[in-house]
Amino acid sequence: MEFQRSDTAVVFIDPQNDVLSENGSSWAAVGASVTENGTVENMERIFKAAKERGYDVFISPHYFYPSDSGWTFNGPLETEEARTGMFARSGPLDLTGFRDSGADWLERFKPYIEDGRTIVASPHKVFGPQTNDLVLQLRKRGVDRIVLGGMLANMCVESHLREFLEQGFEVAVVRDATAGPRHPEWGDGYEAAIVNYRFLAHAVPSTEEVLDRMHH
């Protein structure tokens, strides 16, 4: 899979404190995978290269508003998100308490996301982009190829991958710019995702390989 800034974009899913910070609500489950993969460092390297090389960067965030507590059924992860207040915000138009909260961007990513050029989509509500405007934003900018990373590998990232494929995009998932949860009964979410990426994605490169293709 070739990258060129005319039709290739970087898409990062949930670059937020709750899944990437040691103080985040999910760190006990995801911290080992994030640390072993160098996920934060690799995402930052891709952010930096994309900005330097003129690639568009898109963010698909995960936010929950007070009205979402009215849902009458949830899956196991959604139930846990509601219990812990993961990605919680005070309202769609209210930033009270947002700064440095679990829903906020990881601090080291803010210079890239808040530069006035990054496209931040509306929030996805479960796992995939079917509930936000990300695909529309990509199509409006003529994007055909996607470099995909972020969190969580086996949940939101894989769900975005599957929808992008159904929508006709060519997708490379950066294998060390993501991470997943480990559960004592359910297993290693990252390893499960990597297997599926290899079956589904057009490429599963390392960050180093992505940077090399961007530079050439």
**Calpha distance 116→132 (Å, rounded):** 20
Distance, CA of 44 to CA of 33 (rounded, Å): 17
For 175, the 3-state DSSP assignment is strand
Model confidence pLDDT, tens digit, residues 8-53:
999 999 999 999 999 999 999 999 999 999 999 999 999 999 999 9
| Residue pLDDT, tens place only, 166-214 | 999 999 999 999 999 999 999 999 999 999 999 999 999 999 999 999 9
Give the residues across from 16 on adjacent strands: 105
Q: Please state, in angstroms and as integers, the Cα–Cα distance from residue 61 to each residue in 78, 95, 103, 209, 210, following that order.
A: 15, 15, 9, 26, 22
Alpha carbons 39 and 161: distance in angstroms, whole number: 18
Question: Burial, 98: exposed, middle or buried (Cβ in 10 Å; 0-12, 13-18, 19+)?
Answer: middle
d(CA 118, CA 113): 5
Check residue 84 and give its pLDDT: 78
Tens digits of residue pLDDT in 117-137 = 999 999 999 999 999 999 999
pTM of the prediction?
Answer: 0.94
Q: Which CATH class is domain 8-61+101-215?
A: alpha beta
